[in-house]
Chains A and B, each alone.
Chain A
Amino acid sequence: MPALRLLWLSVTDPVPGLGNYTAIATDDVALTVVLRTLGMAAIVTVVCLLLAYPYAYLMTISTPRWRAVLIAVVLIPFWTSLMARTFAWVVLLQDNGVVDTLLRGAGIGPTRLLGTTAGVTLAMAQVMLPFVVLPVYTTMRGINRRLVDAALSLGARPAIAFLRVYLPLSLPGVAAGATLVMVLSLGFYVTPSLVGSPKQSMLAQFISVQVNQLVDFGGAGALAVALLVITLLLLGGVQFATRRKGTRANSAPISGGIPL
């Protein structure tokens, strides 16, 4: 219901028509924000994949007891309050904060992290990582190791066997995880607004400014609808691609209230 009203507002407020949409499409600021948001979401997704892949792989070769520990570690961010975690990042990244001090000890810095893209990436990737690790792990667990053994016995070098056999088989999980992170990052509000700066604002912050400071419901509505459409297109596209290949990835159960 409220969503329909928003759609209605986006084409009626302040004047009926598609004015709000053409305004976004021609407004440099809005376009910059949309592109920046897509860019940030892509960076966070790549960072998450790079961290999640070895982690999930480690889970598949661990003993059951260590695997339980690794799973618990991934689930802990699911369980902990988003506000508390974001506040923790603000403290860690502040000037003369823990990260700054550590980096200075290592001979780097002084660094500015709070209010920068690097800081936002660091904090966002931590929030998003579980959403990649779980589907990638689920897919990897289902891979038959004998296929890789077969490649090795046929004379493939380990790196080739990995690239040609194991990696393609793990792709459905990677795709599922990447989409989830991409989608969640696009609409992420809390962490970017507290860890980032208004100058580097992302789409969600931009929408919030439209509503709270400019009281421009039409503009905000149009942006929100655009965000929703991008989200649905991403989800639909990936679902279509994976279903056609007949290898549907089990996406991870979303097991915490994740009020992003």
Chain B
Amino acid sequence: MKTGRGLRAFLITCGVLTGAWLVVPTLVVIPISFSGENSFAFPPSSWSLRHYTTFFTEPSWLTSLLVSLQLALLVTAVATVLGTTAAFALARRTFVGKGIVEGLFMAPLIVPGIVVAVAMYAAFLGWGLIGTPIGFIAAHTVLALPFVTVNVTASLAGFDRVLERASATLGASPWTTFRSVTFPLIRPGVLAGALFAFVTSFDEVVVSLFIQSPTLQTLPVRMFTSVTNEVDPTIAAASTVVLVVSTILLGLATITRRNHHAA
């Protein structure tokens, strides 16, 4: 079907406007973060790095940044190990109730965040896990697991098991086979899963809001309270930092995954 010139022009106009609306609004926080003023005025009339200085020196911001980074690293480790193991179990074994288990693994993607948050809050109150590192790790791991499982399962789906048998017939132990044959081949999937897990934890707001305590707050929670309770332009610096970190990592994850699929 040939597309008429008028229609084409209309579509391009729509595309440009929609694209601008998708991309431009977020970028507004970057210039504001370099503003010299104590407000969110845009465009700023003077420039400075003072909001970054505040962000990296004031305890309430700095602590929440460190909490988020440590938490995200721990969650990445736990979720990657658990998710990879689970992906192996789901891809290689058949067992009773497998469908249900698969469904449960995908559940955090479908169940609305607020439902997960309230449910965890209610459960954690009973177990004394509110505001504890263990509570945060458990909650974020649950949310991050699907991303690891999906990515590793995708790698395993394209995996030729003859290679493992070859390795075994040549006298390698199962562990050696895993270490030197299986793992290198699924590494891109594991890596992409790990990156997604990190960003999921680093960026998570809703559940963290519910299970936080005044002494243990993640960066997104600190940002949330900043938007609701104060007019503090430091949040523009915080946003820019978060934006840069999560964009780079998710970009990397997508590229790793895409190259792997292309290979």
Return the chain A residue nearest B142 by Cβ.
A2
Q: Say yes or no: B122 contacts A58, CB within 8 Å.
A: no
Q: Say yes or no: B204 contacts A152, CB within 8 Å.
A: no
The verdict on A77 contacting chain B, using a C-beta distance below 8 Å, is yes
Q: How far is the CB of A116 from chain B (nearest CB, A)?
A: 17
Q: Which of A58, A86, A88, A224 lies in contact with B115, CB distance below 8 A?
A: A224
A130 and B23 alpha carbons, distance in the complex (Å): 12
Q: Say yes or no: A73 contacts B122, CB within 8 Å.
A: no
Binds B, one of A16-24, A90-98, A105-113, A240-248: A90-98
The verdict on A11 contacting chain B, using a C-beta distance below 8 Å, is no
Total contacts A-B at CB 8 Å: 220
How many residues on the A side are at the interface (Cβ–Cβ under 8 A)?
A: 76
Q: Which B residues touch A70, using CB under 8 A?
A: 15, 19
Q: Which of B114, B147, B247 lies in contact with A257, CB distance below 8 A?
A: B147
Q: Say yes or no: A189 contacts B121, CB within 8 Å.
A: no
The verdict on A181 contacting chain B, using a C-beta distance below 8 Å, is no
A81 and B200 alpha carbons, distance in the complex (Å): 10
A254 and B200 alpha carbons, distance in the complex (Å): 12
CB within 8 Å for A126 and B25 given contacts A158-B4, A256-B250: yes
A232 and B123 alpha carbons, distance in the complex (Å): 22
Taking Cβ atoms with an 8 Å cutoff, the residues of B that contact A are 1, 3-4, 8, 10-12, 14-15, 18-19, 21-23, 25-29, 32, 40, 42, 109-124, 126, 143-144, 147, 196, 199-201, 203-207, 209-210, 220, 223-224, 227-228, 235-236, 239-240, 242-243, 246-247, 250-251, 253-254, 257
18 pairs from A and B in contact (CB 8 Å cutoff) = A5-B126, A6-B122, A61-B3, A77-B23, A81-B239, A83-B203, A88-B29, A91-B32, A126-B22, A204-B112, A208-B117, A208-B210, A211-B118, A227-B112, A227-B114, A231-B110, A257-B144, A257-B200
